[in-house]
Amino acid sequence: MKESNDLRHSISIDNNKANCIIKIRLNDECKNGHQDFSVTATFWEIGKTRNDRNMICGGCCHEEILKIRPDLKQFTDLHLCDFNGVPMYAEANGFYHLIKGFERLNGKSQKEYFCDCYRISPKQYDILITTKEESHFAYLLHNLGIIKQWGKEAIKAIKELEKLTGIKFVNDSKRTHLKYTEEQIKEIANDVKNGYYTEAKQIERINKKVLDLKAKKIQDSKDSFDKKQKELLIQFKLDLIGIELFGTTDNIIYYTHINEVVFNWQNSSYVKKYTNEEFDEFVKNAKQNDLLKDIDFIIKQLN
């Protein structure tokens, strides 16, 4: 049997039930270092020519695919999963959906939808829902046998795809969708053993994160206030010098983002033009003020 790291199979249907092309693949089409499953299709109006005008839908329209080919569910379930059957961003997305839920449930409960989406049993869900941290969630995926479960599903689908294509799959992936390494999972398992992930400890860390985040936001707000206050004070001191010397601050601008004052920044007959002598006098006065001494002063020479 021929071998390849790129398996592709197309199914063309044109009858009184559907007019479509279904495409199944397992390859590294996205060039991200690992092979992924993908199932897409294009549907046209029944009995019509397959062109853009007659197209009904296209992409990962799995509901429409399964209406006519329910036997392809093992592939649609693995859509965007890697060669090990692991869903995209399994730990991060899985934990987020576990805690935050989904935007749409399609008439199902959160538990039912999660189990269907992540291909787990209700009993496994009941244990997963007890965790409050992503790292512990990642550990439970291993400890509950979910990772192996996903792997078995992928192996079954690969064997079926090999039959359909007549090509033996070669896995040359450099990585998987899993974020946590085996070594990290072992470390988390040790932490579990030592009581780090008890409910009380997890709640304690979550509460601390909330308090730390509040403190950071307050500090960020204070820093922003202090910065703006200093900038306004600098502008006021600059205005005082300009008004005392020239009776105006026209054509003098203070760029706060680079801490620079530019004279003659406008070349207009309606604003004052400063001489080098006036500029030097202004700078001499400014440098005597501790708040202004670190500012860069520039004068543009106008014709």
CA gap 128, 75 in Å, rounded: 25
Q: Which position has the token pair 């090990």?
A: 84
**Can you give the pLDDT at residue 302?**
78
Domain boundaries, the chain: 2-197, 220-299
Give the integer Cα–Cα distance in Å for 66 and 245. 82
Q: What is the pLDDT of residues 243-274, one digit of tens each?
A: 999 999 999 999 999 999 999 999 988 999 99
At residue 253, the pLDDT reads 97
pLDDT, tens digit (0-9, with 9 covering 90-100), for 193-244: 999 999 999 999 999 999 999 999 999 999 999 999 999 999 999 999 999 9
Instruction: Quote the pLDDT of residue 50.
Output: 96
Summarize the confidence of residues 149-157 as an average pLDDT: 98
Reported pTM: 0.80
Tally of CB atoms within 10 A around 261: 23
What's the CA angle centered on 228, arms 225 and 232, to 5 degrees?
135
The pLDDT assigned to 209 comes to 95
- Which pLDDT band, with edges at 50, 70 and 90, does 106 fall under? confident
